[in-house]
Structure 1
Amino acid sequence: MHKHNILSSSSSLHSVSYILDLQLQMSARKWEDLNMDCLVNVLTRVGIESLLLGAPFVCQSWYKASLHPSCWQIINFQKIERGPLSWYFYDGITTEFIKSIINRSRGNATAVWLPNDCTKEALRYIADECPALKALCLSDNLCYRYYSVIPELISKWKNLEELRLGRLSNMEKVFEEINCHCKNFHWLCASGANIERDTASAIVTFLPKIKYLYMRNANIDRESLEMILQGCKELVLLDARDCVGYECDDQLLMLASHINNFQHEGSSLFGDEDEWGEHISLDSFDGILSE
């Protein structure tokens, strides 16, 4: 599958502006005469920072286009956290800022990356106001702080297909809720998590149709891995690289023979926890964002 590459905010906006400017010069038309649907289509590709800091200040037409819900279907708060608007997450206005951005989608948001400093109020607001959500990214920090809240919110996202979890202590409850409410779910990232036997059993029981499972750097023993290999018959990709708790051999490869892409390199019985890290991009979800 091809990953969706989110364009650089500043360079993409300048490029888009330059191309559209040339087109308008050639046709001797004014900015306000440009078809609004065309402009909205362009602005859906420039990134959230450009939608906030660049596009609204070009002209009145760009301002109106930047407010269209289609421009706010993909919302990456984690990029804002690392950019010039990061101060919104440190001055006690995080909740209101998140709400204001979510409101721009008017219920049409399909993918959201939550910031580390997301409040419980903001998390519940997203659950209520984003019924069309297909992809959700939760950091380790959020999973640690709101582990008791996350399972109950899953029922709000009936269209959820892809989920990136941090090291959540009660993943089994999340998987049970996904099984009850998210019929098209097929993609899970639990990189660096503790995949104990109860967790592996929950994956097999509640996510039998999972197609993409990323658990690189996880703590998982051989029996738990065998359980997943035997129980998840529709897996297309299983990333179990650099895990601690098992070593791959011919028997495991035979159990994984039905998986097109089984990645196991670097795994060992024992490892150094200090070397664990995030190896899957938080900026991408395979599938949802490549559409």
Structure 2
Amino acid sequence: METAVQESASAAPAPSWADMETDCLVHVFRRLDLEDLAAAAPLVCRGWRRAAADPSLWRALDLRRDHVARFMPWGALAAAFARRYDVSRFTFAGFLRICVARARGSAADITLPPLLASPAAELDHISLQCPRVRRLALPKLPAGDEARLPELIPRWPLLEHLELEAKPSSCFPDIAAKLALYCPNFASLKTTGSVKPEDAVALACSLHRLRSLCLDRSYLPRRELLAILVGCREMRKFSARSCVGFDDKDEEVIRRGARIERFEIGGSSRLDEFEDEMATGDELCDSSYVDVM
């Protein structure tokens, strides 16, 4: 009798992946890239399609990870869409909208590469469809699209971290004011560019509750740096590495930064020292290059 039971058990077919509970599939699918979730998993069977559409899989939309070449029209992802969905023209904007739609308003972390053909339209779409964003990283935007950021900020009341590849040249104080007014949990900013006196005032006054600030490879004059350090009393992490405008051995700067748990200013130099290095023809490595605006 025992032998018959064993033989019957051994003859039973192995459980099918298609029959796996949706919650289990969702847990497995968390290891997949976004393109696999969009263009591969949904086509296996109905169960996989249902699991791949779970909004929790689309809360973190990191579209800058790896290399932007994967979003090019000649890439594997475009080929997959053409083959499986009969899409004749693949665009990054289209893929972005698929990701946003799958998130169903739950996207909390969005990172965009510099591939937006119409940044204003896509940012407007994200601001309306993703009101629960907590972390947002944006590529360098055209001046006209930068100017729209202040009016979009109020649509992200839960925003905690903002990363701007290039600091907006004219509207940064307005952005800071809107962050202070509409985003009560905002605590972290990362950007690079020319820090003007009005920008330093905006950081020290509007964003004085910042806990983390990264200004690596910026033009950051000593006076503006000190104003930021004096005004942002709750800072726990500050980074201004490889900047131009102040000396990383400046005693007052070091004293002001001593209260900050993680204070990094290595590789920074005064403007005259930077100009001397350029005049000598010394080759500057990537980590020390600064675009002085």
Asked if Structure 1 and Structure 2 have the same fold, meaning a TM-score greater than 0.5 normalized by the shorter chain, the answer is: yes
- Helix, strand or coil: the match of 1:216? coil
Deviation at 1:82, TM superposition (A): 1.5
Q: Normalising by structure 1, report the TM-score.
A: 0.78
2:199 counterpart SS class: helix
1:58-97 aligned at under 5 Å gives the runs 58-79=44-65, 82-87=68-73, 93-97=91-95
User: How far apart are 1:137 and its partner, in Å?
Assistant: 0.8
TM superposition shift of 1:94 = 4.5
Deviations 1:216-267 (A, max 9, x none): 0010111111011111111111011100000032221111111011101100
Match of 2:235 in 1: 235
- Greater relative contact order (CA < 8 Å, ≥ 6 in sequence): 1
In 1, the alpha carbon distance for the partners of 2:92 and 2:49 equals 24
What is the 5 A alignment of 1:191-270? Answer: 191=192, 193-248=193-248, 249-270=250-271
Deviation string, structure 1 residues 149-190 (Cα, Å, up to 9, x no partner)? 111100100000010012311211111110011010111001
Q: Helix, strand or coil: the match of 2:64?
A: helix
CA contact under 8 A between 2:226 and 2:256: conserved in structure 1? yes
Q: Residues of 2 paired with 1:180 and 1:163: CA distance? A: 15
Question: Residue 27 of structure 1: CA displacement?
Answer: 9.8
Q: How does 1:1-291 map to 2 (within 5 A)?
A: 28-79=14-65, 82-87=68-73, 93-118=91-116, 119=118, 120-140=120-140, 142=141, 144-165=143-164, 166-169=166-169, 170-191=171-192, 193-248=193-248, 249-270=250-271, 271=274
Q: Kindly indicate whether the alpha-carbon contact (under 8 Å) linking 1:44 and 1:72 is maintained by their aligned counterparts in 2.
A: no
Q: Rg bigger for which structure?
A: 2
Give SS of 1:194's match.
Answer: coil
5+ unaligned residues in a row in structure 2: which ranges? Answer: 1-11, 79-88, 289-293
Decide which moves more: 60-69 or 126-135. 60-69
Answer yes or no: is the 8 Å Cα contact 2:108–2:134 preserved in 1. Answer: yes
Question: What is the aligned residue count?
Answer: 250
Residue 202 to residue 114, structure 1, CA distance change in 2 (3 Å): same
- Runs of 4 or more off by more than 6 Å in structure 1? none
Structure 1 residues 197 and 61: alpha-carbon distance in aligned structure 2, compared to 1, 3 A threshold: same
Q: Note closer, same or farther for the CA distance 1:237–1:43 as it changes in structure 2 (3 Å cut).
A: same
Kept after mapping to 2: 8 A contact 1:159/1:183: yes
Under a length normalisation based on structure 2, what TM-score does the superposition of the two structures give? 0.78
CA RMSD of aligned residues (A): 2.5
Shift of 1:57: 3.8
Q: Secondary structure at the match of 1:234?
A: coil
Instruction: Look up the SS of the partner of 2:57 in the other structure.
Output: helix
d(CA) in 2 for partners of 1:277, 1:168:
22
Q: Structure 2 CA distance, aligned partners of 1:179 and 1:54?
A: 42
DSSP-derived class of the 1:45 partner: coil
Against the structure 1 CA distance between its residues 116 and 122, is the aligned structure 2 distance closer, same or farther, given a 3 Å change threshold? same
5+ residue gaps, structure 1, are: 1-25, 280-291
Aligned partner of 2:227: which letter? Answer: M
Cα distance change on mapping 1:234 and 1:63 into 2, 3 Å? same
* Kept after mapping to 1: 8 A contact 2:68/2:113: no
Whole-angstrom CA distance in 2 between matches of 1:68 and 1:33: 17
SS in 1 for 2:136: strand
Per the alignment, in what secondary structure is the counterpart of residue 184 of structure 1? coil
Judged with a 3 Å threshold, the aligned counterparts in structure 2 of structure 1 residues 190 and 276 are, in CA distance, closer, same or farther, namely farther
Cα 1:199–1:41 change in 2 (3 A) is: same
Question: Does the aligned pair in 1 maintain the 2:177–2:202 contact within 8 Å?
Answer: yes
- CA distance in structure 1 between the aligned counterparts of 2:66 and 2:122, rounded to whole angstroms: 16
Q: Give 1:36 deviation, angstroms.
A: 1.1
Greater mean alpha carbon deviation, residues 109-118 or residues 262-271 = 109-118
CA distance in 2: counterparts of 1:265 and 1:178, whole angstroms: 29
How far the C-alpha of 1:47 sits from its partner, in A, is 2.3
Separation in structure 1 between the aligned mates of residue 287 and residue 54 of structure 2, nearest angstrom: 34
In structure 1, the residue matched to 2:82 is: none
Look up the SS of the partner of 2:110 in the other structure.
strand
Which residue does 2:84 correspond to in 1? none
